[in-house]
C-alpha cells in the first residue's frame, strides 16, 4: 500500500502504483483553481507523472481554462478532429457524424509514445477527459520513464545520455495509422523529423527520464538506421515492463493529466461496438534538454 499525502493547499494525493500515477481528491476542476493549488498540482505532476481526477463535470470551456493554467495549448495537427468552437480541444473517438465521417482521432496512440515528441517543443502534458467510455478495455497505460532510467545499469545510462532520438510523425503515421486517410502534403509539412536527447532532465523535478518511444522515435541520430531502431524498441520495451506501469480503467467524468516529460503511454484495445468519446487538450512544453 502507498500512503496518501496531503499538500499545503489541501489536496489529497493517493499513489496508484509503485512508480507512476496519483489520484487527486479535494478539487473541483469546473471552478477556477487557486495559485496554491496550481503550485501543488505542478509539483505533483512532476513527481507522479500522472494525476487522476475522478467524478469531474468538465465542459470544453472549463477543460480549456484548467489546462491553460499550465501553459499554451496546442490543437491537433488534423484540424477536422477539433471540438466545434474549441480549436484547442480534440476528440479522441470512434464515433461517426451523420455524414459517416469520424469525428475524432480513432485508434489513436495504441503504441507506446510521448505526445507530439516530433515537435521541437513537445507537449508538457496532456489532459484527457472521459465522456463516454466502453465498459471494458480502452484503458490508458502509463510508464514511468524516471523508473526506466534509474533501473538501467550505470554504463547504459551514460551511453543513452549521449544519444539523440529522431522523432518522426510522418514515419509514425505511415507505419501505424494506415487505417486512416493519408496525410495531406500540408499536414506532412507541419511535422518534419526532429531530434531530442534520449535522456532528458525534467525541468521541475530535475530528475532524469528516458525520452525514446517505440511509436514516435524512428531511430537514433548518427548511427545505422536499423541498429538505432533496435535500440529504441529495446529501450521502449524495457521501460514498459509491468512494474513501471499504471493502467487506468476509465469511467465517465475522469480527467487524467499526464506529464509527457517523464512518462510514455498507450491506449489498449476495446470492442469497437461500444462508443468511446474522449476530449483532449495538450499543453506545450519546453525544448527537451539534459544537464
Ligand atoms: Fe497520446
Q: How far is it, in rounded angstroms, from Cα 149 to Cα 170?
A: 28
Give me ligand 1 centre to Cα 155, in Å.
30
Cα–ligand 1 centroid distance for 10 (angstroms): 30
What pLDDT is recorded for position 245? 98
As given in the structure block, the three cell numbers for residue 291 are 544537464
Q: Which residue has the cell 529522431?
A: 166
Strands (E), 119-254: 123-132, 140-144, 164-167, 194-197, 199-201, 208-210, 217-220, 245-248
CA of 108 to the centre of ligand 1 (A): 7
Q: Alpha carbon of 128 to those of 6, 41, 58, 154, 290: distances in Å?
A: 24, 16, 11, 35, 28
C-alpha 282 – ligand 1 centre gap (Å):
10
- The low-confidence residues of the chain, meaning pLDDT below 50, are none
For residues 33 and 5, is the Cβ–Cβ distance under 8 A? Answer: no
Cα 26 to ligand 1 centroid, rounded to whole Å: 27
pLDDT at 15: 98
Q: Are 123 and 74 in contact (CB under 8 A)?
A: yes
Angle among Cα 225, 234, 170 to the nearest 5 degrees reads 50
Q: Cα dist. 93→60, 63, 288 in Å?
A: 15, 17, 30
For the chain, give the number of residues.
291
pLDDT at 77: 65
Between the CA of 115 and the centroid of ligand 1 the distance, in Å, is 5
**Surrounding residues of ion ligand 1, Cβ less than 5 A:** 109, 115
Q: Residue 240: helix, strand or coil by DSSP?
A: coil
Task: Give the separation between CA 89 and CA 60, rounded to whole angstroms.
Answer: 7
Amino acid at each position: 500500500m502507498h500512503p496518501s499525502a496531503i499538500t499545503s493547499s489541501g489536496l489529497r494525493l493517493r499513489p496508484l502504483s509503485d512508480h507512476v500515477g496519483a489520484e487527486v481528491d479535494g478539487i473541483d476542476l469546473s471552478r477556477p483553481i487557486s495559485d496554491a493549488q496550481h503550485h501543488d498540482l505542478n509539483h505533483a505532476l512532476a513527481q507522479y507523472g500522472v494525476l487522476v481526477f475522478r467524478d469531474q463535470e468538465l465542459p470544453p470551456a472549463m477543460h480549456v481554462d484548467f489546462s491553460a493554467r499550465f501553459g499554451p495549448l496546442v490543437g491537433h495537427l488534423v484540424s477536422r478532429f477539433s471540438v466545434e468552437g474549441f480549436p484547442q480541444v480534440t476528440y479522441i473517438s470512434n464515433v461517426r457524424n451523420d455524414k459517416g465521417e469520424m469525428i475524432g482521432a480513432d485508434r489513436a496512440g495504441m503504441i507506446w509514445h510521448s505526445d507530439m515528441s516530433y515537435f521541437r517543443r513537445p507537449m508538457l502534458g496532456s489532459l484527457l477527459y472521459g465522456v463516454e467510455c466502453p465498459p471494458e478495455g480502452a484503458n490508458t497505460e502509463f510508464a514511468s520513464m524516471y523508473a526506466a532510467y534509474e533501473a538501467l545499469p550505470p554504463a547504459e545510462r551514460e551511453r543513452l545520455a549521449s544519444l539523440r532520438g529522431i522523432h518522426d510523425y510522418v514515419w509514425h503515421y505511415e507505419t501505424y495509422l494506415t487505417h486512416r486517410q493519408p496525410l495531406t502534403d500540408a499536414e506532412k509539412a507541419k511535422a518534419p523529423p526532429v531530434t531530442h536527447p534520449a535522456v532528458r532532465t525534467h525541468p521541475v523535478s530535475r530528475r532524469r527520464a528516458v525520452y525514446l518511444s517505440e511509436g514516435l522515435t524512428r531511430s537514433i541520430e548518427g548511427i545505422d538506421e536499423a541498429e538505432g531502431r533496435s535500440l529504441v524498441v529495446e529501450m521502449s520495451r524495457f521501460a514498459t515492463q509491468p512494474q513501471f506501469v499504471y493502467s487506468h480503467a476509465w469511467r465517465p467524468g475522469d480527467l487524467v493529466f499526464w506529464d509527457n516529460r517523464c512518462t510514455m503511454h498507450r491506449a489498449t484495445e476495446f470492442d469497437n461496438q461500444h462508443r468511446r468519446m474522449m476530449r483532449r487538450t495538450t499543453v506545450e512544453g519546453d525544448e527537451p534538454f539534459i544537464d
